[in-house]
Amino acid sequence: YKRIDQPKQSKDELYQMGETFNNMIGQLEQNYVKQEQFVSNASHELKTPLTVIEAYADLLKRRGKETPELFDESIEAIQSESNRMKELIEQLLLLAKHDEQWKVTAEEVHINALIGEAVRSFCAGYKRKIEFDEKADVTVKSDAQKLKQLFYILMDNAHKYSKDTIYVSVERKRGKAVIEIIDRGGGIPTAELPKVFDRFYRVEKSRARASGGFGLGLSLAKELADAIGAEVKLDSVEGVGTTAQILL
């Protein structure tokens, strides 16, 4: 008779394995809840414009022929809500693509040219006064398209949440390229600042809804920045304005 020793697992090891499994399950649960919340938020946001479109279509069907003055108002509402839906679907697609990994390129990007061109098209498209200050001539290795998307999101917010001039600058600070977008709008309350990067988070939902946001812009901006190894920072004072920075 020969005694064979079983591999021994100490209590500590078993306890550690249990802990690891617990953490893994916790993480899976959290991801599942997040995913569920995302789908429910997205469906809700898509349903709202659809309800408005349905209501106007119904109104036109019932009273359009004998009340032609209803026509313009209804068509305008239908068009504006369809545009909102399109914008949301585009953002959702971009996020969905990210979940399957974006392809990131790294090419020489002349920041002044890229931002200058974006500012010009923004000025023309949104009819806004934008001052562009080139404090330095900066070229970096980055993904030009993603950087442009990121810049557009921050510009779009400055445009939506302020009325006066928007100030854009490009400079070099402590070895980094810094793109700054400053607006003199209503700003963001300090307590809300960490939350605005969450998907679907809006400060005062009704106010943001009136300006047309879904609360997806900044979460996309953060993900774009992470993808290209950049950083987005927001500094804001309620009633004074907001400074958004892209650091590369």
Q: Which of 45, 81, 180, 183 binds ligand ADP (CB under 6 A)?
A: 183
Q: Which stretch binds ligand ADP (CB under 6 A): 15-23, 32-40, 58-66, 196-204?
A: 196-204
> How far is it, in rounded angstroms, from Cα 163 to Cα 122?
14
Structural contact between residues 181 and 221, judged by C-beta atoms closer than 8 angstroms: no
Structural contact between residues 202 and 215, judged by C-beta atoms closer than 8 angstroms: yes
Residue of this chain nearest to ligand ADP (CB atom): 213
Kindly state whether residue 151 participates in binding ligand ADP, applying the rule CB under 6 A: no
Q: 236 - beta bridge partners?
A: 242
Amino acid at 85: M
* Vertex 227: Cα angle to 176 and 199 (nearest 5): 110
Kindly state whether residue 161 participates in binding ligand ADP, applying the rule CB under 6 A: yes
Which C-beta is closer to ligand ADP: that of 111 or that of 182?
182
Q: Which of 140, 217, 222, 228 binds ligand ADP (CB under 6 A)?
A: 217
Number of residues assigned to the chain = 248
- Stretch 223-242: interaction string toward ligand ADP, x if CB under 6 A: -------------------x
Nearest to 180 by CA among 129, 232, 222: 232
Q: Which of 42, 115, 166, 216 binds ligand ADP (CB under 6 A)?
A: 216
Q: Which stretch binds ligand ADP (CB under 6 A): 27-35, 36-44, 113-121, 206-214?
A: 206-214
Q: Which residues contact 59 (CB under 8 A, 6 or more apart)?
A: 70, 74
Which C-beta is closer to ligand ADP: that of 64 or that of 169?
169
State which H helix or E strand residue 20 sits in. helix 11-63
Q: Are strands 176-183 and 139-142 parallel, antiparallel or unpaired?
A: unpaired
Kindly state whether residue 112 participates in binding ligand ADP, applying the rule CB under 6 A: no
> How far is it, in rounded angstroms, from Cα 208 to Cα 202?
6
Q: Which stretch binds ligand ADP (CB under 6 A): 24-32, 56-64, 143-151, 178-186?
A: 178-186
Q: Which of 56, 74, 167, 202 binds ligand ADP (CB under 6 A)?
A: 202
Q: For tokens 């090891």, name the residue.
A: 13
For residue 151, give the DSSP letter: H
Q: Which of 84, 185, 245, 248 binds ligand ADP (CB under 6 A)?
A: 185
Q: List residues near ligand ADP by CB under 6 A.
A: 157-158, 160-161, 183, 185-188, 196, 201-203, 208, 213-219, 242
